[in-house]
Structure 1
């Protein structure tokens, strides 16, 4: 009896929680950025908004597609369930089904054409507190979606791979922090059903790990900003 009364008295709150759960699992979501793989586009401590209906309506909590709603586009920043273990990742689509993709000395080659890059700018990049390395930032002229990328010359990384053709229904994804990203160079191409949604805005942001160790400082200049 007490349980029934408790449920009755809190029916509105329980319905709110149920609706919030459905919203996050089927419609929209927000995800914190835990790693540096998308620097400089996304920073650790950013919280991004994800449109789960950008591509497909799915059965909540599964990869089962109920209804296709839109087509992933080259340059979209997406969240995904990694096909190599199920870890949730956030990367950028650089290759669509049927595209030929290669990488040569950190230069992306798309359908036989090397992309162009703006004049690189050097700066120091903190990998861990007390460890600063040289980094190079430039704008990669991806068709219809130019965006910033970062290269870390001092880090051992996979800067080359032979041309592959992206299979039907799959996508080739890279992190913007090219030399510090677990992406399609390592996990392979990503089936469409593994794409969770398109990340479109940074909702809030805070610097949670500075050069001197733990700290928490809001980055108000990044709040409610579009992801490019």
Structure 2
């Protein structure tokens, strides 16, 4: 009798070739890749810092762990929020796309809706209160968070009396004289922030580290 092909333990013909792979291991691999993509898009991911605009908080080449769900769980590959979470807060280091050209950026949220902002010589005042202690002018405090500024290139453009509308945020780099930020491209919708940085897990010259943000 002619061989009709390999059979499984139950005597049924086994699928062979590409079709068999797609029905077996290939399908499992595809499901795994989809789940990984959803997880990376909706929950956690990492960001590689390309420039020095956030020195000294972030240095060029830093690898940063970010929470993709901090401001809400979104439908993968869209801006549609499925489960709302926290609103952006002052001091957050957030990832978003530039309103100017769509380039992905990471900057600090320095003001939210309703805040009155003054920025002079690189130093911020929010609602009439300076964020830096006069005794340590190079460090600004956002509640429990402290940001060490880099002012070696000056403070960049000043801001005088800006009131942030509801639903908008002002983002500024910690390297005040070397950052293309909200002083150039304007305010950013709070809904456009799609990740909050949690910490640096790899730094050039140091290797594995953990520096909370």
Shorter chain as normaliser: what TM range?
0.7 to 0.9
Structure 2 match to 1:140:
140
Cα distance in structure 1, aligned partners of 2:178 and 2:43: 30
Deviations 1:32-59 (A, max 9, x none): 1111111111111111111111111212
Could you say which residue in structure 1 is the equivalent of 2:168? 170
Deviation per CA, 1:4-44, whole angstroms, max 9, x where unpaired? 22322333332222111111111111111111111111111
TM-score normalised over the length of structure 1: 0.79
Write out aligned runs for 1:64-79 (5 A).
64-79=80-95
Contact (CA 8 Å) 2:113, 2:166: kept in 1 or not?
A: yes
Aligned to 1:25: 41
Deviation string 1:146-194 (CA, Å, 9 cap, x unpaired) is 22111024x6x63312221111111111111111111110111110221
Q: Which runs of 4+ in 1 moved over 6 A?
A: none
In the TM superposition, 1:22-171 aligns within 5 A as: 22-117=38-133, 138-153=138-153, 158-171=156-169
Gaps of 5+ in 2: 1-15
Q: The residue matched to 2:142 in structure 1 has which SS?
A: coil
Write the distance in 2 (CA, Å) between the matches of 1:17 and 1:95: 38
The structure with the larger Rg is 2
Number of aligned residue pairs: 197
CA distance in 2, matches of 1:3, 1:163: 66
Flag structure 1 segments of 5+ consecutive residues without an equivalent.
Answer: 121-136, 207-217
* Superposition TM-score, scaled by structure 2 size: 0.84
Answer 1 or 2: which has greater strand percent.
Answer: 1
